[in-house]
Amino acid sequence: MNRRMPFSLCLLSLCFFPLMAAENWPHWRGPGHNGLAAAKALPTTWGDEHVLWKTALPGPAPSTPIVWKDRIYLTSTAGNDLLLTALDLNGAILWQKKVSEGNRDYRQGESNHAAPSPTTDGERIYTFFGTGILAAFDMKGNEQWRVDTQKRYGTFGIYFGISNSPLIDDKRLYLPLLHDNAQDVIAFDKKTGAELWRVKRPSQARQESRHSYASPLFLGEGAQRQLIIHGSDVVSGHNLENGKELWRSGGLQKAEYNPFYRFVTTPAASGDLLIVPSAKRGPVLALKPLQARGDITGKAEYLIWKRDKGTPDVPSPVIHEGLVYLCDEQGILTCIDAVSGEVYYQERTHTQRHRGSPVIADGRLYLTAMDGVISVVQTGKEFKLLAQNRLETPISASPAFAGNMMLLRTEKALWAVGQK
């Protein structure tokens, strides 16, 4: 049943500024699935003078907003309900739809069943929730199809709830389900929700290491494009047409096997380069696997470099102008040469836990912490902390962008920051 939330309870506007959308932000990591934004002239520091608006949300969620033209879409909780919400670029809530129910909180409220982020192609909005409901809506909020993935593929056996976000291309929606009761990668027809293919992804992973919270991504372009799946001790590349596994790499566990080495952070891709994190201060791999077949663990022709420790545990890497940036859970930022693996710096930006993934816009890194602090760091080989800004409540989501406006989703509200 659809339900419209009262406008008066959902919108708290500081002011209204007509804004034109430029670049779409259709995926939680942006249009290139890489955390890179085209936004310009963003403020380095902000107070009330750079807060364009602030809209109260019905409940917390760690999912990241997405943007298409002049609309913002996000998922959230509202008590036991799980919602999809549409806003305009002035922060006004246009509609809300109840998609599922049965919310559950994890890790003292850090996460819940609205952890996966939505995605869109401009025709439909695709949502996935920790209840297992995968659903598509048209741009006005009318439901097009839904699939109960727990009923179809097995009850979720995962400690902290499903959090991986769906991935789409021109034909398909891709969804990995890696947990105690399934090790599957599935492709759906994004127009109808029909299953197109389903492949088993065998693994020797044990106990919690079978659980993956990482989202799928693409590597390569055109005919070489592959689907990358990260979890259960390995990273693997798959054929988009049929899901066939093309290659896989281990080397992500420690020498003494750790059965609690679950993967949370999503790898990053740039051209033919794939940066693969692991878990719990473990290794980071730089691979070029587009031509690879079979098990390539440790093979020098595909392994560009490896760091034996220092992985981010939750925030995803970002690659920009030949540099790899890793922000770990404690706010330590590491800058690495993408080709050689040389470390240019490793510096602490903040002391509190980081859950959202870093983004880059206009030559600056934006890092979000759970205590509401956003650190701004200059890109480049030399560490320069430009500013730290504080919002009122915790941030688990990653930043998103609508034109030259940055969207920050906190526990209680959606904030828009930019030049007035």
Query: What pLDDT score was predicted for residue 103?
Result: 87
Which residues pair with residue 343 across a beta bridge? 336
- Dump the DSSP string for 31-72: TTTSSEE---S--SS-SGGGEEEEEE-SS---PPPEEETTEE
Q: List Cβ neighbours of 206 (8 Å cut-off, separation of 6 or more).
A: 257, 259
* Confidence check: pLDDT of 14 > 70: no
For the ranges 106-110, 187-191, 212-216, 270-274, the lowest mean pLDDT is seen at 106-110
* Confidence check: pLDDT of 109 > 90: no
Mean local confidence (pLDDT), 5-21? 38
* Confidence check: pLDDT of 78 > 60: yes
Residue 294 sits at the vertex; the CA angle it makes with 288 and 295, to the nearest 5 degrees, is 75
Mean confidence (pLDDT) of the chain? 93
Give the type of residue at 162.
I
Query: What pLDDT score was predicted for residue 62?
Result: 94
Between residues 20 and 201, which one has the greater pLDDT? 201
176 C-beta neighbours (distance < 10 Å), count: 26
Between residues 203 and 11, which one has the greater pLDDT? 203
Q: Single out the residue of 99, 83, 81 nearest to residue 145, CA to CA.
A: 99
Query: What pLDDT score was predicted for residue 205?
Result: 94
* Residue extents of the structural domains in the chain: 7-417
* Residues 284-321: tens digit of each pLDDT: 999 999 999 999 999 999 999 999 999 999 999 999 99
* Confidence check: pLDDT of 16 > 60: no
Q: What are phi and psi of 363, to 5 degrees?
A: 75, 20
Query: What pLDDT score was predicted for residue 247?
Result: 99
Sign of CA dihedral 13, 357, 352, 264: positive
3-state secondary structure of 407: strand
Tokens of 290: 């587009």
Architecture of domain 7-417: 7 Propeller (2.130)
* Residues 110-150: tens digit of each pLDDT: 789 999 999 999 999 999 999 999 999 999 999 999 999 99
Tokens of 371: 């205590």
* Confidence check: pLDDT of 9 > 80: no
Query: What pLDDT score was predicted for residue 390?
Result: 92
* Confidence check: pLDDT of 329 > 50: yes
Query: What pLDDT score was predicted for residue 104?
Result: 84
* Confidence check: pLDDT of 42 > 70: yes
List Cβ<8 Å contacts ≥24 apart for 22-25. 22/402, 22/403, 22/404, 23/401, 23/403, 24/67, 24/68, 24/69, 24/122, 25/65, 25/66, 25/67, 25/400, 25/401, 25/402
Query: What pLDDT score was predicted for residue 15?
Result: 38
Query: What pLDDT score was predicted for residue 110?
Result: 76
322 C-beta neighbours (distance < 10 Å), count: 12
